[in-house]
Structure 1
Amino acid sequence: MIAIARRSLVCATAIVLCTFIVAGCASHPARQPTDQGGNHYAPAESIIVPDGDSTLVAGLRRALAERGWHLIGYSGDMTSGHADYAAMARRAKYRLTLMGTPVGQCHNGDPSFLYRIAIIQNKDGDVPVAISGADCLTPILGEFSTDLDQKQLAPIPRTSTPARTAQ
């Protein structure tokens, strides 16, 4: 009789604890993604960019940041499988891919690169910006910035509301 009562008490305690846990989880809003600094951001305002400290990477990052993008760093090993791309789509709307090989120096002192740059939409693989060639740093960054502006590739702020149409 005591064993049955003890077992019932343990089951009742487990049920109460589970109820508290479920209630606690349900009462908190879903967490937004955070960056390495612990700051919250919206995926629609974010773009995943390659790690690195080359002048080309720095210039591309600067062009994106100047247009309001929240930048999230990544390394090539993050893109090894389908699940990795799905995880990126939950963190950011786009990712920047880059192949940039230094090939010399221009007359103005800028480094020159053989390059291939693309911005890829994480959700469906659409490529709104793709440029490639061989040139000096300044013209590469100019072409990239022009493409961003012409394609109107800008983050969608969380606080924006749809424009009303006159009726």
Structure 2
Amino acid sequence: MIEVRLPQPVEGKEESLIVLWFVSEGDVVEKGDRLVEVETETELMEIEAAESGIIREIIFERGETAKVGDVLALIEPNGNQAASQNQKAPSIQEQSKKDEPLVEESISRVEPGLRKLAKELVVQLEMVNGTGRNGEITEADIRRVAGKNSLEQSEIQSSNEREE
């Protein structure tokens, strides 16, 4: 089994909050896939899969705090082909749920800099459809919504001026 451990964050904090799991137990992951997002007082960080395999156990759940070096999850390497073949293919309904992240999940994945930009441009993140990898919200998405909002505002103002 491959242990997914909490690494030492840049600023040297010893604990991190589990913000969001991008995977569930039983999911097949490839090397480099995002597994989990963790947060310290000053930093959001994503932990990626070091090897391909199957998520066998998630030890720390969303909202729990882990210390540096704690095992967050266990991955069974893909070398065991029998285990991979025994994995049932997800149903169409399960797959569509996986492909369309919940609004709450996609919003919680927004980087702090993009959150700040959205606030400055008065854009509600709930109104932004992410076009990035795995439906992530990008800077262009936020600016697109901000542009639509300003266009709508100018149309409202011009129609109000005509009515006066």
Fold conserved between structures, TM > 0.5: no
Structure index of larger Rg: 1
Q: Which has the higher helix share?
A: 1
Task: Identify the TM-score tier after normalising by the shorter chain.
Answer: under 0.3
